[in-house]
Structure 1
Amino acid sequence: MRKNMLFMAYWELNPQKDIREVGKVAVELRKSGKWPVDGVKIVSWYMTPSTPFWGTIVYEAENEESVFKNLLAWLNAMPGIFTTYKIAPVLPVEKAIPLALL
């Protein structure tokens, strides 16, 4: 059985989008159960108070397809919401350091 993977995303909100509208979309996605999608668990989710607003999120996901669907939920709900969205698999530092020493 494959173990769930951790993914970290860095995102920047489009400054042309009203932050109140973004907030409404976030509430609706969560309330409707459209986000996070099945197979994805939010581990941490942070946003900065600086503009343009940006933040990070860490997901635990069953597979890469779930991570892709998770992003699409936002893009479909509010096209153009992000100016930047980067995501990659991650390891906790305490697991990464021993690998770096091999």
Structure 2
Amino acid sequence: MPFPHPSALDIDEWMSRKIPSHAGPAAAACLAIIVDVLGLPLSELEPSSRFTEDLRADELEPVEIIMAIEDELGLKISDQGASQLGSVADLIAHLAQRIQ
């Protein structure tokens, strides 16, 4: 059974407890995409969660996450840059830096 999509309020609450405030709306979009692609509840995510090791993503799911983020935010993440984004925190920090 798939998990319900987190509400904006759920995502805001998670972000206020887990990541720096400067991450902004890109982080919220990122979290929504991660839970959607991986089919996980938001409560299973931690900033330190690694996609394959902790969140049990197969080898294509991180690529799906990157592609969905690129579409949602209208930016391009290079293959080299994407290969260095192994955790939720890595991805959020990268997006926060790119969008500032």
Does TM, normalized by the shorter one, top 0.5?
A: no
| Rg comparison, structure with higher value | 1
Question: By percentage of residues, which structure has more strand?
Answer: 1
TM-score by length of 1: 0.35
Q: TM-score, normalised by structure 2?
A: 0.36
Higher relative contact order (CA 8 A, sep 6+): 1
Q: Which has the higher helix share?
A: 2
